[in-house]
């Protein structure tokens, strides 16, 4: 994908380079950055990776849509975003449409760690950004998204022979399981969720489990609410382990920060104008997912994630309507032709 983008830019004599994000993340490529007419103050972004491999992909062109043959993903997330941005740029060039210039970044690892946007060094000229990466239909955009903090917990008990002297041990696995079973998980309130995924213990069947590791996440609309729930988790483990002789370690960090825009913000108004000009009705919606837009907002660059019409993402039933490919491209073109 990176090679394709580099060749695309070279064929059109556009300024293009690969950054160091891949080396920092251990990936086989970095982000690909393409600038047009000096780069401007606006950034457009999509990500190169897909949730699953498209190596054996067979496209099926139906009357109204593109699908795979059902054996693999189509790669709509986020090849649709890339397709529409490149097509809009071609139209801009071919039709000699006036533009104040802009920059495009195609990121790595959005599906796994958001490492591409995390390690992307934003040019000082960039004032706002538009990510083309939402599965909503064109005209819909994400005006509010949660922040997420991951946490690692290690419960430590005491090993003992489970047959000869089980009473000498402290069963870390049993205590950790009890703590999780009593912990509120799933949807905590209208704007908050919590989950624990990986959970592991090691040792032989004749040894009282003495150590357990688990990893989870907390999402909410505000940083304050995430931190409140984080404190609740720690208080809960304090209470469950009190008097048992077991201890625990807790470590956490932000995966991504929350963001929110209203219709008075400049980026919202610019996007509304572009969607109207493209013949659609703009509508801002909240989302519970994280994306590259969260990372850029966390870096102080106002960024909104736009709907591309990439439907049923991550499944073998993915598809994109031709209508949505066209309409997303129209919106991108209207944003690119913006003049200062």
Residue 167 tokens read as 């009473």
Share of the chain above pLDDT 70, in %: 99
pLDDT score for 340:
59
| Separation of alpha carbons 270 and 278, rounded Å | 13
pLDDT surpassing 80 at residue 100:
yes
Kindly compute the dihedral angle of the four CA atoms of residues 323, 310, 287, 89, in this order, to the nearest 10 degrees: -70
| Interval 17-37: pLDDT, tens | 999 999 999 999 999 999 999
Question: What domains, with CATH codes, occur in the chain?
Answer: 2-145+258-336 (3.40.630.10), 150-254 (3.30.70.360)
69-96 pLDDT tens trace? 999 999 999 999 999 999 999 999 999 9
Antiparallel, parallel or unpaired: β 211-220 and 65-68: unpaired
166-185 burial by CB neighbour count: b if 16+ within 10 A, else e? eeebbbbbbbbbebbeeeee
339, 99 contact by CB (below 8 A): yes
pLDDT band at 138 (very low <50, low <70, confident <90, very high): very high
Tens digits of residue pLDDT in 266-305: 999 999 999 999 999 999 999 988 999 999 999 999 999 9
């Amino acid at each position: 994908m990176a090679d394709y983008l580099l060749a695309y830019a070279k064929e059109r004599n556009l300024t293009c380079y690969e950054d160091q994000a891949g080396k920092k993340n251990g990936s086989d490529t970095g982000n690909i950055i393409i600038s047009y007419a000096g780069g401007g103050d606006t950034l457009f972004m999509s990500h190169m990776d897909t949730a699953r491999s498209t190596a054996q992909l067979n496209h099926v062109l139906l009357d109204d849509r593109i699908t795979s043959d059902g054996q693999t993903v189509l790669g709509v997330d986020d090849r649709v975003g890339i397709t529409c941005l490149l097509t809009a740029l071609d139209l801009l060039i071919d039709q000699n449409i006036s533009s104040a210039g802009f920059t495009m970044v195609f990121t790595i690892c959005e599906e796994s760690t958001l490492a591409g946007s995390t390690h992307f060094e934003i040019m000082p000229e960039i004032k706002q950004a538009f990510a083309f990466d939402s599965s909503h239909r064109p005209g819909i955009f994400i005006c509010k998204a949660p922040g997420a903090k991951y946490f690692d917990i290690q419960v430590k008990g005491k090993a003992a022979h489970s047959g000869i002297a089980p009473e000498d041990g402290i069963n870390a696995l049993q205590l950790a399981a009890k703590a999780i079973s009593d912990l509120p998980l799933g949807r905590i309130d209208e704007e908050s969720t919590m989950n624990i995924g990986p959970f592991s213990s090691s040792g032989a069947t004749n040894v009282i489990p003495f150590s357990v590791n688990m990893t989870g996440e907390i999402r909410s609309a505000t940083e304050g609410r995430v931190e409140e729930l984080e404190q609740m988790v720690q208080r809960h483990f304090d209470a469950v382990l009190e008097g048992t002789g077991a201890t625990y370690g807790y470590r956490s960090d932000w995966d991504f920060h929350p963001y929110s825009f209203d219709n008075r913000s400049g980026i919202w108004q610019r996007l509304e104008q572009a969607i109207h000009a493209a013949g659609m009705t703009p509508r801002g919606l909240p989302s519970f997912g994280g994306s590259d837009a969260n990372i850029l907002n966390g870096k102080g660059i106002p960024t909104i994630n736009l709907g591309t019409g990439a439907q049923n993402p991550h499944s073998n039933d993915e598809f994109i309507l031709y209508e949505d490919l066209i309409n997303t491209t129209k919106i991108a073109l209207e944003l690119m032709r913006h003049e200062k």
